[in-house]
Amino acid sequence: MQRHQQHAWLNEIKSMRTEENDKLLHFELQQASMMVELHDVKSAVQAGVEKSRKQSEFRIQQIEGRIQATCCNVQELRNKVDDVLSLTSEDFPNVLLRQRLEDKDAILSSLTKVTHSGLTPCKSRLLFINSGSIRMTRNCV
């Protein structure tokens, strides 16, 4: 009977080892599956991050380009204003220049000129059109 008990006990141990091995194998397979899934998720995130980074860099380049173009346009407009004002002051030495900002889109400079006789006040205005061209109008009273 003792031998029979030992045999039963050994069979039980073998059965437990088999169950434990099966559980261990199951967990190892589960772990491997999760590692593959983790790798896939990391790859997808990496690809998404790379795509987002490239889109962000492209957007930043577009914005920087527009800023640069705006700065060039502003500088060009300033140069035109300086050119016109310097020409005006050279051509009309008796002109009083007054500048004021009327709104965000237009700059209006008023020039007042009194003729040598002092009888006819004239106002010259420099109008800045949206296209950047400049024209001068005169209103004489």
Tell me the pLDDT tens digit for each residue of 83-126. Answer: 666 654 444 444 444 333 343 344 434 333 333 334 344 444 44
Distance (Å, whole) CA 63 – CA 69: 10
Domain hosting 91: range is: 35-140
Contact between 95 and 112 (Cβ < 8 Å) = yes
In a domain, 25, yes or no: no
Number of domains comprising the chain: 1
Q: Where is average pLDDT lowest: 18-22, 59-63, 118-122, 130-134?
A: 118-122
Q: What does the pLDDT read at residue 87?
A: 59
Q: What does the pLDDT read at residue 115?
A: 35
Q: Which residue has the higher pLDDT, 118 or 6?
A: 6
In a domain, 29, yes or no: no
First and final C-alpha spacing in the chain: 136
Q: What is the DSSP letter of 104?
A: S
In a domain, 16, yes or no: no
Joined together, the tokens standing for residue 128 give 């800045």
In a domain, 129, yes or no: yes
The model's confidence at residue 66, banded by pLDDT at 50, 70 and 90, is confident
In a domain, 28, yes or no: no
Q: Which residue has the higher pLDDT, 8 or 45?
A: 45
In a domain, 41, yes or no: yes
Joined together, the tokens standing for residue 43 give 């790859």
Using alpha carbons, list the distances in angstroms from residue 61 to 48, 50, 69, 75, 96: 20, 16, 12, 21, 44
In a domain, 120, yes or no: yes
In a domain, 71, yes or no: yes
